[in-house]
Amino acid sequence: MALSYFHSTSGHTTLDAVGTDLPNLPAIRAEAIRALRELLFIRSTDGPWMSDPWRVWVTDQPNANGQTILTLEVASR
């Protein structure tokens, strides 16, 4: 499979310009879940309950260009 680019927003946006080579959609999904879990752990004191939803999204081109493959979002209501 081609490179997948993992981007995130949690008060500020981080765009992936390097990419990760993963074999299939289940592997992409697992990596996106891991990235969101890490984001929640690292920034737990100001979690998504204090601001806009946090999001990890995966595209097929760098810097959030191209087609979105997968999006995960965490928000409080």
Residue 27 pLDDT class (50, 70, 90 cuts): very high
The answer to whether 73 and 64 are in contact (CB under 8 A) is no
Q: Where are the domains of the chain?
A: 3-74
Higher pLDDT, 45 or 72: 72
- Weakest mean pLDDT among 27-31, 47-51, 59-63: 47-51
pTM of the predicted model over 0.75 = yes
- Residue 46: both structure tokens together: 């100001």
Q: Tell me how far CA of residue 10 lies from CA of 3, 22, 56, in angstroms.
A: 23, 24, 9
